[in-house]
Amino acid sequence: MVGADFSTPARKSVAKSKEYLTPPPDGEMVFIGEIEHGHQLPFTPKYLEMQNVTNEVMDLMWLGKRSVADTCRELDQRIDKVLERD
């Protein structure tokens, strides 16, 4: 297998190559099978700001300091504010 980090390669040719798939990483075939269905997300100039808000809010959830429901509500409110600004 190419590399030891077990991440799915971005290039289809590498993901399907003999070098990457021998031996196939446990569970990796699920991701490789989905490559053909993937697509690039649309670009928005506010992506970085939205990602920073998402990381900030989600960190508390991952640490067990906020519920999933509360996290989703706060994300909804804060991302809407980002999108409303010019």
- Each residue's pLDDT tens digit, 3-21: 555 677 778 888 888 887 7
Enter the DSSP assignment of 38: -
Domains of the chain: which residue ranges? 1-39, 47-84
Residue entry with tokens 């446990």: 26
Token code pair at residue 55? 């990381």
User: Which pLDDT score, from 0 to 100, does residue 4 have?
Assistant: 54
Encoded tokens for 14: 């590498």
Mean pLDDT computed over every residue of the chain: 84
Q: Per-residue pLDDT tens for 23-42?
A: 666 677 777 777 788 777 77
* Distance between CA atoms of residues 36 and 9, nearest Å: 13
44 or 9, higher pLDDT: 44
